[in-house]
């Protein structure tokens, strides 16, 4: 008999998959293969080394199926390819081992392909936000960034949960004294402020302004990142992407947990934004 602890959290955005109930998470209803793939990824991370490999194999198969299925729009292709990019990193978490360098490299390379794909196509309305997310994840996965700043894309549960003020696009992990993982959630906006959220919100337009003001708009940064991921070295490109990454990390450090918050989930800007 499985012990159903924290089962009520399987739809809430802020819990890490590590703390979900593996049984309830894997049995969660999902109509489409891409959604089912996410349930299985989270169930694998929740399960740890007990059966996670089989769950991840099935998640990989379903995610691939959803990519090859019925000409999905570019809008759907971006997040599904982002899921693919992070499967090795999720496997590390399911195996309870530190992120391996090759998992990071795999994420970076495939995120570069996602960015490249987005440049070659006419983007449907709404996709530009997805590209901002892919670029943000890319900037966290570059070799010059410490491994502890590696960022993960949010699952459907984390991105689209019932408590909208806590939904987020990506997160980094830290570990407490007992070695248990904790999440730092980030909502990525192209423009706009943080009202309506009680978690960190990053406005790329604001954060990357030093670059966009000097001739590097978002589209150009996307092109540089895709070019770098494809292995084309250029020292100016590297410098610009280093600066973009630093701007992003610095903006994230401007947020801190609210003291005396009983749930330990709320954040506030350290300095007014
Ligand atoms: Zn349960």
Assess if residue 5 is contained within a domain: no
pTM: 0.94
Q: What is the band of 129 on the pLDDT scale with cuts at 50, 70, 90? A: confident
User: For residue 29, how far is its CA from the centre of ligand 1 (angstroms)?
Assistant: 13
Judged by DSSP in three states, 71 sits in: coil
User: For residue 6, how far is its CA from the centre of ligand 1 (angstroms)?
Assistant: 7
Assess if residue 8 is contained within a domain: no
Assess if residue 136 is contained within a domain: yes
Interval 242-256 mean pLDDT: 96
For residues 209 and 250, what is the distance between their CA atoms, to the nearest angstrom? Answer: 13
Assess if residue 80 is contained within a domain: yes
User: For residue 177, how far is its CA from the centre of ligand 1 (angstroms)?
Assistant: 27
56 closest CA partner among 92, 102, 14, 20: 92
**pLDDT tens digit sequence for 197-248:** 999 999 999 999 999 999 999 999 999 999 999 999 999 999 999 999 999 9
Q: DSSP secondary structure string, 187-217?
A: EEESS---TT-SS-EEEHHHHTHHHHTTT--
User: For residue 12, how far is its CA from the centre of ligand 1 (angstroms)?
Assistant: 14
Assess if residue 113 is contained within a domain: yes
User: For residue 22, how far is its CA from the centre of ligand 1 (angstroms)?
Assistant: 7
Assess if residue 1 is contained within a domain: no
User: For residue 39, how far is its CA from the centre of ligand 1 (angstroms)?
Assistant: 13
For residues 60 and 40, what is the distance between their CA atoms, to the nearest angstrom? Answer: 9
pLDDT above 60: residue 1: no
User: For residue 3, how far is its CA from the centre of ligand 1 (angstroms)?
Assistant: 7
pLDDT above 80: residue 68: yes
User: For residue 21, how far is its CA from the centre of ligand 1 (angstroms)?
Assistant: 5
Q: Tell me which residue range forms the domain holding 17.
A: 13-269
Q: What is the band of 2 on the pLDDT scale with cuts at 50, 70, 90? A: low
Interval 55-62 mean pLDDT: 96
Cβ atoms of 114 and 123 closer than 8 Å: no
For residues 208 and 146, what is the distance between their CA atoms, to the nearest angstrom? Answer: 20
Judged by DSSP in three states, 260 sits in: coil
Q: What is the band of 117 on the pLDDT scale with cuts at 50, 70, 90? A: confident
User: For residue 91, how far is its CA from the centre of ligand 1 (angstroms)?
Assistant: 21
Lowest-pLDDT choice from 97-106, 127-136, 150-159, 262-271? 262-271
69 vs 206: which has the higher pLDDT: 206
What length is written for the chain? 273
pLDDT at 272: 59
For residues 101 and 124, what is the distance between their CA atoms, to the nearest angstrom? Answer: 34
pLDDT above 70: residue 71: no
Assess if residue 41 is contained within a domain: yes
φ/ψ region of 64 (left if φ > 0, alpha if ψ in -120 to 50, else beta) reads: alpha
H/E run at residue 239: helix 235-252
Percent of the chain with pLDDT over 90: 69
pLDDT above 60: residue 119: yes
pLDDT at 5: 65
Q: What is the band of 70 on the pLDDT scale with cuts at 50, 70, 90? A: low
User: For residue 72, how far is its CA from the centre of ligand 1 (angstroms)?
Assistant: 33
pLDDT at 179: 87
User: For residue 199, how far is its CA from the centre of ligand 1 (angstroms)?
Assistant: 27
Interval 38-64 mean pLDDT: 93
pLDDT above 90: residue 261: no
For residues 68 and 76, what is the distance between their CA atoms, to the nearest angstrom? Answer: 11
Give how many domains the chain has, as a whole number: 1
pLDDT at 143: 94
Interval 170-182 mean pLDDT: 92
Query: Is the four-CA dihedral 152, 156, 158, 159 of positive or negative sign?
Result: positive
82 by Cβ neighbours in 10 Å (0-12 / 13-18 / 19+) ranks as buried
Q: Which of 45-54, 57-66, 185-194 has maximum average pLDDT?
A: 57-66
User: For residue 1, how far is its CA from the centre of ligand 1 (angstroms)?
Assistant: 11
User: For residue 35, how far is its CA from the centre of ligand 1 (angstroms)?
Assistant: 19
Assess if residue 147 is contained within a domain: yes
79 closest CA partner among 139, 108, 38: 38
Cβ atoms of 104 and 150 closer than 8 Å: yes
pLDDT at 3: 67
pLDDT at 205: 93
60 vs 269: which has the higher pLDDT: 60
User: For residue 88, how far is its CA from the centre of ligand 1 (angstroms)?
Assistant: 26
């Amino acid at each position: 008999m499985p012990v159903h602890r924290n089962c009520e959290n399987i739809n809430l955005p802020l819990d890490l998959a590590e703390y979900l109930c593996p049984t309830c998470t894997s049995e969660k209803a999902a109509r489409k293969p891409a959604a089912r793939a996410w349930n299985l990824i989270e169930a694998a991370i929740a399960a740890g080394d007990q059966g996670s490999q089989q769950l991840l194999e099935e998640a990989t198969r379903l995610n691939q199926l959803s990519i090859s299925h019925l000409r999905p729009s570019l809008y759907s292709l971006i997040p599904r390819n982002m899921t693919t990019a992070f499967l090795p990193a999720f496997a590390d978490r399911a195996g309870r081992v530190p992120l391996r360098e090759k998992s990071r490299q795999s994420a970076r390379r495939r995120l570069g392909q996602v960015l490249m794909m987005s440049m070659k196509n006419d983007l449907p309305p709404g996709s530009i936000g997805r590209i901002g997310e892919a670029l943000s994840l890319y900037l966290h996965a570059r070799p010059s960034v410490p491994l502890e700043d590696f960022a993960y894309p949010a699952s459907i549960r984390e991105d689209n949960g019932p408590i909208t003020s806590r939904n987020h696009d990506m997160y980094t992990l830290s570990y407490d004294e007992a070695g248990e993982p904790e999440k730092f959630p980030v909502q990525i906006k192209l423009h706009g402020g943080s009202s309506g959220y009680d978690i960190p919100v990053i406005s790329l337009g604001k954060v990357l302004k030093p670059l966009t003001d000097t001739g590097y708009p978002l589209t150009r940064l996307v092109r540089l990142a895709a070019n770098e991921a494809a292995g084309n070295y250029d020292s100016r490109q590297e410098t610009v992407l280093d600066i973009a990454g630093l701007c992003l990390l610095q903006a994230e450090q401007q947020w801190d947990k609210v003291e005396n918050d009983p749930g330990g989930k709320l954040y506030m800007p350290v300095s007014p934004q």
